[in-house]
């Protein structure tokens, strides 16, 4: 006998009903005792288990389930990144501030530097956070709009240029990922300088609670960590979260460990500027794709 | 557990650590500590030559022939300008080509900079848009749009230089130069090079190479020494002496000005 689960959405709450149901093959054997002269009804049991509705808010789900789903995928360790946006079950002030200052299509996107430090051996830790707000009914729609395709012509900001090309796209690759995208980054110009800065990453999207369409988490990690000349780490979290007004926030956290670069102020200015351009491009893309 | 499994586990562990470790620094390559010697300075050019697309071997060989220190390098290091008095400019070659009407000036000097090597190198970039104007020569460099870097340097810039020579009649020249920065040794931040070369001959310049090698000062670990070799082949306009005099004055003034800028 196996447990099958039925799910119902009830006025915003989530009711999970677990029903014990027999497996089809076993049911036949158990239901009819062919050796008996008198066929008697087999006892049938239906146990209904009603679990408490998941009343957790989207941010709590993010902080409690996000680390679990990304960890279960065994792609990379994102615990440092979740620490930057979650403190236990609650989101950090940096997370809340990024949402509060989310780019909505006017003014300049605000990309905040969360971490910037360099060792005497020129190992630099740089973390950036920012968000956009767009008319998406559910943040889970974000991945379907193929946001990375927007970057193919290049991301340009001032005298910096970054090219991000989708190398492959695999739906439902397993390990909880809804979609796996392999990306090739080519940062050609950094604030007026020509640099050779390429990296290859994998971007996976997860639903922390499969039935909760108010929260989606994407985690990106470096694929060529052992051979990359300049990046020891290039992790990212992209958090889609439902806004109070029915729109959606998409929050981006980038966490880099850069090595072999002495011009770190340039990297900070470049990556901050380019991420601001990313915010603009994506926000425009999402607005253009939204159904009025 | 069989010996085989123990061995397998042993080999599997580093990969697991790589994938899961939150402490990323533990797997970063350690610093490549090299003695602060002229020998290691010269050996660094081997790594630069291995990736560069710039042509400056002749100039590097003047201080590091066969990747070993020349007596000239020793002399330069010993006489590095500290900001007191005037920089010592070693004239290596001053020559006139009366057929092509060009003047060649090849010189070398060294500066002691009160900054670590990396900051010294970054200062090279900041110094680029420094103009010079002493009759009859005015030089105005500026950054222009860079070209693609295919991994042949750490960082590359395009420098566009306007050179005005007043030789009775005013000659106005625009030349385009590549300025490229290099680490001389892997995982080491004590030795660097900055090399400027002419992208294409201009009316004024037929050749313009500036090689700056930077090393941490063995006598002062918070400072560094820049050794410069520069070689110009220029339009003499059949006035070799004046041409050499004007550009020699520029080179001496530029060395002093660079030291002052790098000492801020």
For the stretch A64-87, pLDDT in tens is 999 999 999 999 999 999 999 999
Domains of chain A (ranges plus CATH)? 1-50 (no CATH), 58-289 (3.30.530.20)
The nearest alpha carbon in chain B to A195 belongs to B155
- State whether A196 and B150 contact (CB < 8 Å): yes
Ramachandran angles phi, psi of B125, nearest 5° = -65, -45
Alpha-carbon Rg for chain A in angstroms: 24
| Position A198 pLDDT exceeds 70 | yes
To the nearest whole Å, the CA of A195 is away from the closest chain B CA by: 5
Q: Is A204 helix (H, G, I), strand (E, B) or coil?
A: strand
Sign of CA dihedral A273, A275, A277, A280: negative
To the nearest whole Å, the CA of B45 is away from the closest chain A CA by: 18
pTM: 0.84
| Residues A161/A155, Cβ–Cβ less than 8 Å | yes
Q: What is the pLDDT of residue A45?
A: 61
- pLDDT, tens digit, for every residue of A96-155? 999 999 999 999 999 999 999 999 899 999 999 999 999 999 999 998 899 999 999 999
- State whether A225 and B18 contact (CB < 8 Å): yes
Higher pLDDT: A32 or A107? It is A107
The nearest alpha carbon in chain A to B26 belongs to A232
| Position A26 pLDDT exceeds 80 | no
pLDDT band at A279 (very low <50, low <70, confident <90, very high): very high
Compute CA A272 distance to the chain's CA centroid, rounded to the nearest angstrom: 20
Please report where in the chains the tokens 């915010």 appear, as a residue.
A279
Neighbouring CB atoms inside 10 A of B208's CB total 21
ipTM of the complex: 0.86
pLDDT band at B8 (very low <50, low <70, confident <90, very high): very low
If 0-12 CB within 10 Å is exposed, 13-18 middle and 19+ buried, where does residue A258 land? buried
Q: What is the pLDDT of residue A46?
A: 63
Structure tokens belonging to residue B52? 């560069």
| Position B168 pLDDT exceeds 80 | no
Structure tokens belonging to residue A98? 């990024």
With residue A173 as reference, give the H or E element that holds it.
strand A160-174
- State whether B146 and A194 contact (CB < 8 Å): yes
Q: What is the pLDDT of residue A54?
A: 82
Rounded distance between C-alpha atoms, residue B120 and residue B215, angstroms: 9
Q: What is the pLDDT of residue A43?
A: 54
Higher pLDDT: B33 or B25? It is B33
What is the average per-residue pLDDT within B23-36? Answer: 76
Ramachandran angles phi, psi of A184, nearest 5° = -110, 120
Instruction: Give the contacts of B146 (CB within 8 A, at least 6 positions apart).
Output: A189, A192, A193, A194, B156, B157, B158
């Amino acid at each position: 006998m196996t447990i099958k689960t039925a799910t119902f959405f009830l006025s915003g709450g989530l009711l999970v009903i677990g029903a014990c149901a027999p497996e089809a093959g076993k049911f036949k054997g158990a239901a009819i005792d062919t050796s008996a002269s008198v066929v008697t009804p087999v006892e049938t049991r239906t146990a209904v288990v009603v679990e408490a509705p998941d009343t957790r808010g989207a941010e709590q789900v993010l902080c409690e389930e996000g680390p679990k789903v990304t960890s279960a995928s065994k792609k990379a360790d994102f615990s440092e990144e979740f620490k930057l946006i979650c403190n236990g079950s609650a989101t950090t002030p940096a997370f809340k501030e990024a949402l509060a200052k989310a780019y909505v299509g006017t003014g300049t996107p605000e990309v905040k530097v969360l971490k910037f430090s360099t060792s005497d051996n020129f190992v630099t830790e740089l973390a950036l956070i920012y968000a956009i707000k767009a008319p998406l009914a559910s943040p889970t729609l974000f991945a379907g709009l193929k946001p990375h395709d927007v970057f193919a012509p290049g991301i340009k900001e001032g005298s910096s240029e970054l090219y991000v090309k989708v190398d492959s796209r695999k739906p439902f690759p397993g390990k909880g990922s809804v979609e796996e995208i392999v990306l090739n980054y080519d940062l050609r110009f950094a604030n007026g300088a020509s640099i050779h800065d390429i990296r290859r990453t994998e971007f996976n999207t997860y639903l922390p609670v499969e039935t909760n369409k108010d929260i989606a988490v994407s985690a990106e990690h470096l694929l060529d960590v052992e051979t990359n000349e300049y990046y020891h780490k290039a992790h990212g979290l992209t958090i889609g979260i439902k806004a109070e007004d029915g729109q959606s926030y998409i929050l981006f956290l980038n966490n880099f460990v850069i090595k072999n670069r002495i011009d770190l102020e340039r990297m900070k200015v470049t990556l901050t500027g380019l991420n601001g351009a990313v915010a603009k491009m994506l926000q425009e893309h999402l607005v253009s794709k939204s159904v009025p | 557990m069989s010996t085989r499994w123990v061995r397998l586990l042993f080999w599997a562990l580093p990969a697991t650590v790589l994938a899961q470790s939150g402490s990323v620094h533990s797997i970063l390559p350690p610093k490549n500590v090299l003695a602060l010697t002229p020998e290691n300075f010269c050996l660094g050019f081997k790594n630069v030559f291995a990736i560069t697309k710039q042509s400056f071997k002749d100039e590097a060989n003047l201080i590091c022939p066969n990747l070993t220190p020349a007596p000239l390098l020793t002399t330069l290091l010993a006489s590095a300008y500290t900001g007191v008095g005037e920089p010592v400019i070693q004239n290596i070659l001053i020559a006139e080509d009366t057929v092509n009407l060009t003047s060649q000036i090849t010189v070398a000097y060294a500066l002691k900079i009160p900054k670590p090597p990396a900051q010294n190198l970054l200062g090279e970039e900041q110094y680029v848009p420094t103009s010079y104007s002493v009759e009859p020569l005015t030089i105005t460099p500026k950054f222009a749009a860079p070209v693609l870097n295919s991994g042949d340097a750490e960082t590359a810039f395009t420098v566009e230089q306007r050179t005005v020579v007043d030789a009775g009649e005013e000659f106005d020249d625009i030349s385009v130069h590549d300025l490229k920065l290099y680490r001389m040794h892997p995982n080491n931040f004590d030795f660097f090079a900055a090399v400027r070369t002419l992208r294409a001959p201009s009316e004024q310049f037929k050749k313009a190479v500036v090689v700056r090698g930077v090393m941490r000062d063995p006598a002062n670990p918070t400072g560094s020494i820049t050794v410069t070799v520069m070689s110009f082949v220029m339009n003499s306009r059949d006035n070799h002496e004046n041409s050499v005099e004007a550009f020699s004055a520029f080179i001496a003034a530029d060395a002093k000005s660079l030291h002052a800028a790098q000492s801020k």
